[in-house]
């Protein structure tokens, strides 16, 4: 398998993981907020641990370049969220009589836009080797499952079948394999850009965790439980990276 095909395949793994969020709706109409909070806490810890691995790898090629890339990643997420600020959708707020179609369109749109940075993270991570790329892919895939739950919760409450819920969930994450390939090719073709690309991916992921994933987790579950799950999963990811690398 060529390098480009491998990068695309890793991106597709994360996209398909989003579809797993629809699976619980084969048996139930609604997933408890506490369960979604736990999943988000787990994903947050894994993504933070993976981001630390990215930053450590980036500094091998240039500290300031990695920092500048991280700043660009933060600004990307900040500007994206500012653009979408007037279109925020709370998947748990659906009630009878709400404009269901508008809510469905918005939640898929929001998730799709947010997938762009994750695709860049996957592609850029290959510059640090297969182990790092695997860590990043696993972390994003885990993060995508609660996103799929959120999307499916909105769609299912409006009468959409489970199969279509899974399909729309995967669709929202298609920017990940699509963006992963050009990010990989850019870093591969221009080695001096490697720390910038790695820093961008790390900055975007860390800021996304702090701005969106952890606040949502705390809003849905016990603060102690969310904090413990996030901390333990982050420590486990860091130790796992050290174990494989060393």
For 166, the enclosing helix (H) or strand (E) is helix 162-172
The DSSP 8-state label assigned to residue 98 in this structure reads S
Compute the distance between CA of residue 194 and CA of residue 238 in angstroms, rounded to an integer.
21
- How high is the pLDDT of residue 107? 55
List, for the chain, all residue ranges whose pLDDT scores fall below the cut of 50. Answer: 89-100
Instruction: Provide the token pair at 81.
Output: 């969220």
Note the pLDDT of residue 27.
84
The pLDDT of residue 141 is: 87
Residue 165 CA to chain centroid, in angstroms?
18
pLDDT at residue 94, as a whole number: 42
Could you tell me if residue 82 is left (phi over 0), alpha (psi between -120 and 50 degrees) or otherwise beta? alpha
Q: pLDDT by residue (tens digit) across 14-63?
A: 999 999 988 988 887 676 778 778 877 887 887 788 788 778 878 888 89
pLDDT for the residue numbered 99: 44
- The pLDDT value recorded for residue 86 is 59
């Amino acid at each position: 398998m060529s390098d480009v095909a491998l990068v695309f395949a890793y991106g597709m793994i994360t996209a398909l993981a989003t579809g797993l969020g629809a699976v619980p709706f084969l048996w139930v109409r609604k997933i408890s907020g506490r369960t979604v909070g736990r999943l988000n806490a787990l994903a947050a810890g894994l993504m933070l641990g993976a981001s630390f691995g990215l930053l450590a790898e980036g500094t091998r090629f240039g500290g300031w370049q990695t920092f500048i890339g991280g700043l660009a990643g933060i600004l990307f997420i900040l500007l994206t969220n500012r653009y979408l600020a007037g279109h925020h959708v709370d998947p748990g707020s659906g009630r009878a009589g709400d404009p269901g179609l508008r809510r469905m369109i918005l939640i898929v749109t929001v998730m799709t836009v947010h997938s762009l940075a994750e695709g860049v993270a996957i592609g850029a991570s290959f510059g640090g080797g297969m182990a790092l790329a695997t860590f990043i892919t696993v972390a994003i895939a885990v993060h995508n499952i609660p996103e799929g739950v959120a999307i499916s919760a909105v769609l299912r409450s409006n009468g959409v079948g489970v199969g279509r819920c899974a399909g729309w969930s995967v669709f929202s994450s298609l920017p990940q394999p699509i963006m992963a390939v050009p990010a990989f090719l850019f870093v591969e073709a221009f080695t001096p850009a490697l720390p910038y690309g790695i820093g961008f991916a790390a900055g975007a992921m860390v800021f996304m965790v702090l701005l969106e994933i952890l606040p949502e987790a705390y809003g849905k579950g016990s603060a102690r439980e969310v904090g413990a799950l996030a901390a333990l999963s982050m420590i486990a990811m860091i130790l796992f990276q050290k174990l494989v690398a060393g």
